[in-house]
Chains A and B, each alone.
Chain A
Amino acid sequence: MNDPLSRRRLILGLAASLFTTTLCAADKPKAVIGISVLTLANPFFKDLADSMTAEAKAHGMTTIVTSGEFDAAKQQNQVADFIVRKVDAIVLCPCDSKAVGTTLVQANKAGIPVFTADIASLAKEGKVVGHVATDNFGGGKLAAVALIEALGGKGKVAILDHPEAESVILRTKGFNEELARQKREKGVSIEVVATLPGGAAKDRSMKATEDLLQAHPDLNGIFAINDPSALGAVAALEKAGRSGQVKIVGFDGMPEGKAAIKAGKIYADPIQFPDRIGQIAIQNIVKYLAGDDVSKETLIPTQLYRKADADKDPTLK
């Protein structure tokens, strides 16, 4: 009785009050993760959110999924609601990389760790524990490899760009660097004749491609920085009756993009893995709560997806 060990107890604050727990019990209070993605209208972010929810469940945690829908103020409100709910961690795809600072500071002040997925914070203030995203620079290089392969190493190409997004700037940079390297080292003779804004959207990319075809009737290939842009280019080519004559390389690997690759309308895509990004984002949270090291940045490589892959893909009927 006098052994001090017998008196050694753990008071895990008042928080434990909700639940009848002992130190090693299985029914521990469930950690809650607040998630705000960029938009749920894009299947990429839907997949990302779904994979986070699934991975969290596997670790006995629950998620609250919201979407900022490109509105930085709305996203800030969602984070304020997370803070009221006292979530244990927050995952953001910032709607505005530079304006996300005040939102981060709010969460930091409440002692809630913030993680980012797909889009990084470029704000001067606010702490982010860990960031997970596609290796967009490497993906851009793969896109160049695919387009060179599709054109047999020579021709005129254009880029459907969207420089408003940091991720896209990296893709375009990777594309141009790989092309320049192959020109220097492997005698490839491909020339970029135009870089036009396609708004990362189908409608604007279609119009841009129509204009491209007028300005450069001898165009051989297009690098579209995401699947909606690539599909917009496909629509313009079909309308002009030049389907298949201009090779298109997209980016993403959305279901609609993959179907177009299977149909031969898009040559190939460096595909992203939103499910991997989501899983690692959640694993980062698990590590953080357990007091383990979390890497500041994790880049998930892309993979080239051609017609042969599409033909074998069980998700495409």
Chain B
Amino acid sequence: MTNARQRLATALRHYGMAGVLVLLCAFFSAVTVREEIPGGEEAGKRLVETDLSTLDGPARFLVFAPDSDDGRAFAAPIEHAFRKKNQPTIIFVTTPRDVRVALKKLAANGEKFDQVVAAPECANWTVFDKLTEDLPGLASAKLVQNHGTRWPIFLTRQNLLNVANQIVVVAILSAGLTFVILTGGIDLSVGSLIALAAVVSTRLVRDRLGGTEASNGALLLAALAGLALCALIGLASGAAVVRFQLPSFIATLAVMQAASGLAFILSQGQSIYEVPESSAWLGRGTGLFGLPHAVVLMLLVFAAAHILLTRTVLGRYLYAVGGNEQASRLSGVPVGRVKLFAYSACAALAGLGGIEMASQLKSGAPTYGTSYELYAIAAVVVGGTSLTGGQGNVLGTLVGALIIAVINNGMNLTGVESYTQKVVLGLVILAAVLLDRLKGRLGPSARH
């Protein structure tokens, strides 16, 4: 009996939140199932294979697709197929306005077409409603239909990448915050440090490193400067906690105010956007397997943090300090230096979050990161790290951050209005803490 209870407790402790994440994904997949209309190249190819292949005789074609990456990808295989068959075709990759202009012009020239093909994205272009007016020859036009497959929007590749992309900044913050919370402290300044790092580095680029003409080396230098400043500030709040025994809540509350004020002063309350195109590399670029650089960065941060916590002496010290500070001190753990490390690493990661956000938005503004400290704390707590310190792990934090991202994304996809979104998010955090309590009650070992 106790064995079963303990096993349940262990399972809950290790996989509880991951299970919640899986359940949430399953839920949002179930409620976002739609007829998935393939777009882009796939749509073009399918059209060539199915409908266009059944057409016999010399037909004249008119093809429309929206002016987008998908639109061009849609048009390409169709164009290719027609060229092979030697069928006269005109292809437009364009906007509704230009469709209208094109149709009028073709009608005026007395051109005749047998088929009009439009990309899936044009389904709601009402300009086609007037097709028969604009091209009278199409009056008896009939619609050929294809069938899509049913698939949840939530589980599309683009959406899953969105979820990951959207949580990068909060996740990086919460990785750093995990260190501080493990030592039994808290850092409220991380949100303001996002703004400060973003403003300092963009301003350096604008004023000192060549503005929109800045080289990649200059961008790196500016980013490192932002990071270093944040790390120093973290060191200062750590020193206030260690040297003067200030409660971390108060010390970092002061830093939060000061850093935010500094960001407003340095930017004069405006966004700084005179940065080069290449500055979006980190935030918007994609690399190997189409993975966004931002997501790769996040995974690297978590891998490093995980190794640090599980494989190094410093990692063990962080747990020890949070578990029992007095005992750690007596057994020779350099408590002060461990804490200094936790606060400066946390602040440096907040700075990294700021650089990331500046890159995503290609600008720095003092309003960035407002109340992000609360999201980060929520991610850490939802991930199962105890606010009293000594317990938890950084992979749990990643799961926590993903849970928050999935809930936000899922509610956006299902069209839940934003007031309700806040309530739901609050309830989730509450549920996570309750679950944490439940773990403690089920397994006596869980609370040590």
Contacts and interface: CB of A to CB of B under 8 A. Distances in A.
Contacts of A24: 129
B368 A72 contact: yes
Contacts, number: 228
B418 A66 contact: yes
B425 interface: no
A30 B120 CA distance: 13
A135 interface: no
Interface size class of B (residues with CB under 8 A): 35 or more
Contact of A13 (B47, B96, B114, B138): B47
A1 interface: no
Given A80-B166, A113-B95, A289 B271 contact: no
B68 A111 contact: yes
B357 interface: yes
B365 interface: yes
B96 A10 contact: no
Q: Which of A23, A86, A109, A291 is the most central at the interface, judged by chain B CB atoms within 10 Å of its CB? A: A291
Contacts of A123: 273
Interface string A1-14: 00011111111111
Interface in B2-40: 35, 37-39
Nearest to A3: B140
B362 A292 contact: no
B142 A289 contact: no
B122 A72 contact: no
A14 B148 contact: yes
Given A102-B284, A288-B96, A15 B120 contact: yes
A22 B67 CA distance: 25
Contacts of B216: none
Contact of A11 (B67, B115, B121, B368): B115
A88 interface: yes
Nearest to A113: B95
A29 B124 contact: yes
B68 A14 contact: no
Contact of B43 (A6, A14, A101): A14
A30 B68 contact: no
A286 interface: yes
Given A18-B148, A290-B96, A293-B97, A86 B39 contact: yes
Interface string B123-163: 11111111110000110111111111000010010110010
B20 to A, nearest CB: 21
Nearest to A31: B124
Given A10-B141, A102-B360, A77 B124 contact: no
The 4 closest A-B pairs by CB, nearest first: A111-B68, A291-B100, A15-B120, A15-B123
17 contacts: A9-B114, A11-B115, A11-B143, A12-B143, A14-B47, A15-B119, A17-B37, A17-B145, A17-B146, A23-B141, A31-B124, A61-B124, A72-B367, A72-B368, A78-B412, A99-B363, A288-B97
